[in-house]
Amino acid sequence: MHPTAQEAPSPRGCFVTGTDTGVGKTVVAAALARCLRQHGLSVGVMKPIETGHTAGTSSTSDADRLRAAIGTADSLDLVSPYRFSAPLAPLAAARRAGLTIEIERIVSACKELAARYQYLVVEGVGGVMVPITNHLTVCDLIVRFSLPAVVVSRATLGGVNHALLTVEALRQRRVAILGIVMNHRVTPPESPDDRLQQEATVGLVKELSGVPVVGPLPHEAELDQAWETGLAKIVNDPAIQTLADLVTQGAP
């Protein structure tokens, strides 16, 4: 018998955040959740806040993709308590909808999911300093969830600054960081300068971040045309397998 949401212990798993929007958090979170499931573990998923998706449209939401990745029957309202159509930061999207995001509603959903599963993979919205209320950011939400963070970062020029700023912000709030996933959101150029920039970016993040760094994940073009086919390839990437090991080993 599962404990109630109020009795549920702090969940095991991770909170997948990013250095920015559009860096590939959904791909990493979905692939990681499926990888853990394929290892025989009980896994739940969550996208507490989503913006920029209108119900009833032909496109698939991030929350839907996470649910499909593990074939869960958990309701969309539980997995994603707040969904806004405006493609804005959560605070702005909520204001536009005439609503206020209540963090206790999100934490309650997290506890209910944590009571059902061994592990919980949560995908954030934007970067760690994105505001979700007048006084709270995504980083505050990570703290409330008591989950270690996984940071998704671009493996391109600019990635060093964004990755190190994110790590610094998380450390200031005493959030444990399991690792950084370097990702190619689009197919990288193949010029010698571009390759040099990628190697330097990944190398410096490994040297200076002080946390495990995996990747870079290759851009999988099939994700844009056939999500399920592309995701199946990403799940088998060594970076995702290593990330799954880091999650099961827990925060240092």
Tokens at 60, concatenated: 């698939």
Residue 47 catalytic? yes
Active-site entry in 47, 111, 206, 233:
47
The CA distances from residue 222 to 28, 113, 230, 233, in Å, are: 15, 31, 5, 9
User: What gap in Å lies between CA 176 and CA 149, rounded to an integer?
Assistant: 6
Q: Which residues pair with 177 in a beta bridge?
A: 149
Decide: helix, strand or coil at residue 102.
coil
DSSP-assigned states of every residue in 3-34: PPTTTPPPPEEEEEEESSTTSSHHHHHHHHHH
| DSSP character string of 134-164 | SS-BHHHHHHHHT--EEEEEESSTTHHHHHH
Neighbours of 222 (CB within 10 A): 14
> Which residue type is seen at 241?
Q
182 within 8 A of 217, measured Cβ to Cβ: yes
* Active-site annotation, residues: 47
